Chain A
Amino acid sequence: MYVIGKREFMSLFKGVKSLIVIAILLVTSYYSAKFANFLLSGIELSAKEAENIHTVGLLGLLLLLGQLFIAGLSHDTINRETHERTMRFLVTRTSRTSIVLGKFLGIWLFWFICLIISFLIISIFAQKIDIFIFSQIMSLVTYQISFTILLSALIPKPGFTMFLGIVVGLSFPILGLWVVFTSNVWVSWTKYITPFYYLEREDFSFLVIFIVAGIMLFFANFIFKRREC
């Protein structure tokens, strides 16, 4: 698991796509933190909102485009190896659960490092690190990584997960926010399986997101165990 995780982690730092995503994260963190005071003077905010103003750019970026970024980088984490048959080298050496967990661990660690750096940049301006918001963001990212791995285990063709990753990445925040605020009884129940409902509440209910992510990862593993390589 750790060997696969390490390789996944290292390979994510290589390539143009990763560098672009890292650059977007860091630039957004830097400028949103730098101009946070300007925002404070322009609009009326509650004390709580004003306190977290430095992280608003990063949080907004990940809420709107996080799924797209993660799917863009890791949509083929499992199906690419199955498609190209390199997976045969892995499944004949270790358990399939180790492969799924290793992939998850590597991707999660990549985003953890990127977000830690982003928060360190923000902390220069804010003079503090907000652990609560960092945890909320990590729960969101964990959810999105699990969802991406589930898609990659479910769909055998990497080309299709790329397409689906873009579609879902763009529609996910719109639909996610809609189901949180809609009164339509037929769809409003789905808010409990999206992260937005739990993130909107300013308490520790965001921890439920980790559980939902765990369930998705369980299903990804369940499907992958039945998949032929």
Chain B
Amino acid sequence: MIAIETTQLKKSYGTAPIVKGIDLIIEKGEIFGFLGRNGAGKSTFINMLTGIIRPSSGTYSLLGVKGPNDQVKKRIGVMPDYSTLYGSLTAMEHLKYLSALSGKPAGKEWCLEILKLVGLESHVRKKVAKFSFGMKKKLGIALAIIHDPELIFLDEPTSGLDAESAIHIHKLILRLQKSGKTIFMTSHNLAEVEKLCTQIAIMKDGKIAASGTMDELRAFYRSTIKVKIKHSPVPTSEQINLHQWLESAGTDLEMKAPYVTITVIDEKKIAEIIRAFQQCRADVLRVEVEEPSLEDIFLDE
């Protein structure tokens, strides 16, 4: 079953295109991570899907319902970015008001359970005006899940949270996935996306530059593998030969005995490098292969 499907979804302000045509299919039950630099168009994309702004062109559907559709809003939960909460209301009043608005009025017990889930159980009666930034974030997540939605949009759910709270939210996101929810989240925290997300898309200049599972992205970017080799001393007569050969084998060559660091474009080259050392009468003592992390992929993009 498809949770989100977009076809050439675009958004422009005047003549400036922000989102330049996104085609995306997200299956139900996924945790989909949306990455991109500031201004890449991530929030604009979420805002189009959740009805905050209107797309300039293109189509989308949420949970099989073609958007924009007011009925599907009851089945989705949204934690928008930069949202201000009602300062004069308490956490409990927020949950009651907004759950009623979603068509599923929450009782006191359920509100308390949700507040406990996000770690706000000791601030039930406190006015939101007195909440810290992190507490407001947690309440934002509580508001996104209070009506038990099938599809949850979280725009940077852990930014500004301390490490303990962030871990707490990570556990909650995994728990939501286990209960069958689909989660669409944006994040600047690459480690978080790598840890949580089953599918990832990297957005650049209003377009999706790369997408897939973490393994697929790694495979795609495996063409740039960083290899660090510890070797025994190379005979002086062979040093020039080895240097010339290594220079032709890869890029970013660094030779500081007893280490050689080189970036190769194909993993088959690693075996060839080892053979080259042997031909130059030097032993390879250790080989470290650094696979591209999400951060490398993200920075490359």
Q: Enumerate chain A interface residues (CB-CB to B < 8 A).
A: 3-4, 7, 84-86, 88-95, 98, 226, 228-229
Contact = CB atoms under 8 A, between A and B. Distances in A.
A3 B54 contact: no
Contact of B101 (A94, A228, A229): A94
Interface string B135-160: 00000000100000000000000000
Contacts of B76: 92
A228 B97 contact: no
B70 interface: yes
B84 interface: yes
Nearest to A226: B54
A4 B101 contact: yes
A67 to B, nearest CB: 27
Contacts of B83: 85-86, 88-89
A93 B85 contact: no
A86 B85 CA distance: 6
A7 B82 CA distance: 23
A86 B78 contact: no
Contact of A88 (B54, B74, B80): B80
A89 B143 contact: yes
A88 B52 contact: yes
A92 B73 CA distance: 6
Given A92-B51, A94-B70, A86 B101 contact: no
Interface of B: 50-54, 70, 73-74, 76, 78, 80, 82-86, 97-98, 100-102, 143
Contacts of A228: 52-54
Contacts of B74: 93
A7 B74 CA distance: 19
Closest 5 CB pairs between A and B?
Answer: A95-B70, A92-B78, A88-B80, A3-B100, A93-B101
A91 B73 CA distance: 9
Contacts of A226: 54
A93 B78 CA distance: 9
A199 B15 CA distance: 49
Contacts of B98: 89, 93
A85 B79 CA distance: 12
B52 A86 contact: no
A84 B78 CA distance: 17
Contacts of A4: 101
22 contacts: A84-B84, A85-B82, A85-B83, A85-B84, A88-B52, A89-B78, A89-B80, A90-B101, A91-B51, A91-B52, A92-B52, A92-B73, A92-B76, A93-B74, A93-B101, A94-B70, A95-B70, A98-B70, A226-B54, A228-B53, A229-B52, A229-B53
A3 B85 contact: no
Given A92-B76, A94-B102, 16 more contacts: A3-B100, A3-B101, A84-B84, A88-B80, A89-B85, A89-B98, A89-B101, A90-B101, A91-B52, A92-B73, A92-B80, A93-B74, A226-B54, A228-B52, A228-B54, A229-B53
Contacts of A84: 84
A89 B82 CA distance: 11
Contacts of B97: 3, 7
Contacts of A93: 73-74, 98, 101-102
Contact of B50 (A7, A92, A98): A92
A86 B102 contact: no
A229 B100 CA distance: 21
Contacts of A95: 70, 73
A184 to B, nearest CB: 41
B73 A94 contact: yes
B23 to A, nearest CB: 23
B27 to A, nearest CB: 22
A86 B101 CA distance: 13
A94 B50 CA distance: 11
Nearest to B71: A95
A228 B98 CA distance: 20
